[in-house]
Amino acid sequence: MSAKHPREDFRANEEEYFHKLDSELIEQIRSQEKAKAEEAERANHRGHCAECGGNMLMWTSHGMQGYVCSECEQVELQLQTLKILVMNREGKEVLKEINQAVGRATLKTA
């Protein structure tokens, strides 16, 4: 029977410890890089249509605001604006005004 030298046990534990530490650091770096890449991807899409990639133009009417695509005319509304339109009895009139506002040349790019 060969007895292990105490240094061999210490060395094995040391290697295991540093391997675990390195693995955790590598995972942390990968996670940070992934978060940075996701933020960069979101930044590339801000102000652009989700449907076609065209520029989104801002409109304002009756204290509400939304965005419309300059290419495919897709409309983007905040949830609060949508609730106002749905709950408002004069919703059809507001929608007409929004449609007119969207058609005006005074739209601002987002």
- The kind and range of the H/E element at 34 are helix 6-45
Q: How many Cβ atoms are within 10 Å of 43's Cβ, its own excluded? A: 9
Residue ranges of domains in the chain: 1-46, 56-109
pLDDT tens for residues 57-81?
Answer: 887 777 778 888 888 888 888 777 7
Confidence (pTM): 0.46
Q: What is the pLDDT of residue 5?
A: 64
- Rounded CA gap, 68 and 64, in Å? 13
98 contacts: CB under 8 Å, gap ≥ 6: 59, 61, 64, 66
Query: Going along the chain, which residue ranges are E strands?
Result: 56-61, 64-69, 75-77, 108-109
pLDDT tens for residues 83-99?
Answer: 777 776 656 666 676 66
